[in-house]
Amino acid sequence: MSPAENAITVYINTFPEPVKDKLLELRSIIRAAVPEAEECISYGMPALKWRKVLVYYAGWKSHIGFYPTAEPMRVFATELLPYKTSKGAVQFPLDEPLPKALITNMTLFRKEAVLRGKQNP
């Protein structure tokens, strides 16, 4: 296990079970979407990096924060309507299933944006 993977595991393990379980599931979804990417900690949050950071995520008391940057939030706005969102983030409630296909598609969209040379963080 790399130091970054270990740091993310430590981060996830600081949360109670409902949050921890969702974080582990989200981690698995985004890693499966871009298996060649590396995990890292950026801005104090777990992140997935491929050439640059693709997505960030974080645990909260009542939700999981997913931070794919602003462009995917605009592109997937219709699919995100059921969730609380902001310019670059979406909140997934702990008491609902994670939208695996949406998370995968947003993560892959970010990878394509990096390939196209988009300069989002």
pLDDT score for 54: 96
Please write the tens of the pLDDT for every residue from 50-63: 999 999 999 999 99
3-class DSSP assignment, residue 98: coil
pTM value surpassing 0.85? yes
Mean pLDDT of 13-26: 96
> Is residue 55 within a helix (H) or strand (E), and if so which, with residue range?
strand 52-59
**Cα dist from 1 to 6, 26, 79, whole Å:** 6, 19, 35
Please write the tens of the pLDDT for every residue from 33-85: 999 999 999 999 999 999 999 999 999 999 999 999 999 999 999 999 999 99
Domain boundaries, the chain: 3-115
Token pair of 120 as six digits: 């989002």
Q: What's the pLDDT band for 118 if we cut at 50, 70, 90?
A: low
Query: Under CATH, which architecture does the 3-115 domain have?
Result: Alpha-Beta Complex (3.90)
